[in-house]
């Protein structure tokens, strides 16, 4: 079963945004739909990623 990608609700109308699939298990750049996908295997990895993004 394929899960739909959804745009981050925090992106608003911005073109600089990410899309997520499942429960943040996969993240991609919405401008490069065929590009790389970040895949997380556990909640700790997701938290570390979000912490880094927020600090930037």
Q: What tokens appear for 20 in the block?
A: 């997520």
Q: To which H or E segment does residue 43 belong?
A: helix 43-55
Query: Is the pLDDT reported for residue 1 higher than 60?
Result: no
Number of domains observed in the structure of the chain: 1
Query: Mean per-residue pLDDT for 7-22?
Result: 75
* Structural domain containing residue 37: 16-55
Q: In what order do the strands lie in the sheet with 18-21?
A: 6-7, 18-21, 26-29, 38-39
The predicted pLDDT at position 35 comes to 92
3 located within any domain: no
- What is each CA distance from 5 to 26, 40, 52, in whole angstroms? 9, 15, 22
pLDDT at 25: 87
Residue 24 lies in a domain: yes
Instruction: Note whether residue 1 is domain-resident.
Output: no
Q: What percent of the chain has pLDDT over 70?
A: 88
34 within a domain of the structure (yes/no) = yes
Least confident of 11-20, 29-38, 46-55: 11-20
pLDDT confidence of residue 24:
75
Helix, strand, or coil (residue 28): strand
């Amino acid at each position: 079963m394929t899960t739909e990608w959804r745009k981050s609700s925090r992106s608003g109308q911005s073109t600089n945004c990410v899309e997520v699939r499942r429960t943040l298990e996969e993240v991609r750049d919405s401008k490069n739909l065929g590009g790389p996908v970040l895949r997380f295997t556990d909640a700790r990895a997701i938290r570390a990623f979000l912490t880094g993004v927020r600090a930037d």
